[in-house]
Amino acid sequence: MKTNRRQAMWVAIAATVMVCGTLLSVKSSGQDDRPGGWQVTRAEYGWHERQNDVTDLLRDLISRGGVEGRIAVNNQTMGGDPAVAQDKVLKIVARNREGQEREFLYKEGSFVDVAMFVVRRDDWDDRPRQNGDRGGDERAGVWIIRGYWGVQGRTVNVTDALRGMQRDGRLVVRANNQAFGADPAPGADKVLIVVYRVQGQETATAVREGNTLAIP
């Protein structure tokens, strides 16, 4: 009898250890999805080979919390339509605190939960922020929030330059090195990305080098 009781006791202990180990394993594997656990390293929006690099743009939107904690995935928020009439996808490549890398895919028309990601300001903007900086003419309803010129990994912040180009509540600028006084990526086809707000509606747009941007 004593032997059977001991065996039963050891079986119970072993089962308890296994259950605890399983619970710990589940908790460990799920911690990657905790809020703010993923650092955005790259983001693309498009269809098949027709993709726009939206890394800087997405980081900016995440850093400001999106709209009610979400970012809509559409041509407006992603700065343009790289594949007209196609169902596009936003692909986010991110890394967690343990250095593991993962892809997040969002179909056009869906939403990104901002709480899933974290962005360090140094990743995309080295300009000091100023309280009350509206980035435009409040009376005209046009606010330049952020502007970038270049290619991924080689960009310059052109926010102040864009704000200085505004006239009568509008912005018209030719996307080239002369307009911004710098070439952050010699030999590469650069892109001008602008995040702005018009009459309370926040959006983004992008134009390739050599083209003209006009907003609103």
Residue 137's pLDDT is 47
Q: Is there a domain that residue 166 lies in? A: yes
Q: Does the pLDDT at position 126 exceed 70?
A: no
CA angle 150, 151, 156 (to 5 degrees): 35
Tell me the HSE value of 68 on the side-chain side, using a 13 A CA sphere: 2
* Residue 7 backbone dihedrals phi, psi, to 5 degrees: -60, -45
Query: Are residue 89 and residue 144 in the same domain, yes or no?
Result: no
Residue 5's pLDDT is 52
Instruction: Please identify, among 63, 96, 122, the residue that sits at the C-terminal boundary of a domain.
Output: 122
Residue 56, Cβ neighbours under 10 Å: how many? 25
Number of domain units in the chain: 2
Query: Are residue 118 and residue 140 in the same domain, yes or no?
Result: no
The predicted model scores a pTM of 0.54
Query: Are residue 143 and residue 67 in the same domain, yes or no?
Result: no
> Distance from CA of residue 49 to its chain's centroid?
20
**Looking at per-residue confidence, does 196 or 124 come out higher?**
196
Residue-range definition of the domain harbouring residue 178:
136-215
Encode pLDDT of 150-181 as tens digits: 887 678 889 889 988 888 878 899 999 999 88
98 Ramachandran zone, left/alpha/beta (phi>0; psi -120 to 50): alpha
Q: Which residues contact 65 (CB under 8 A, 6 or more apart)?
A: 114
**Looking at per-residue confidence, does 38 or 31 come out higher?**
38
Q: Is there a domain that residue 26 lies in? A: no
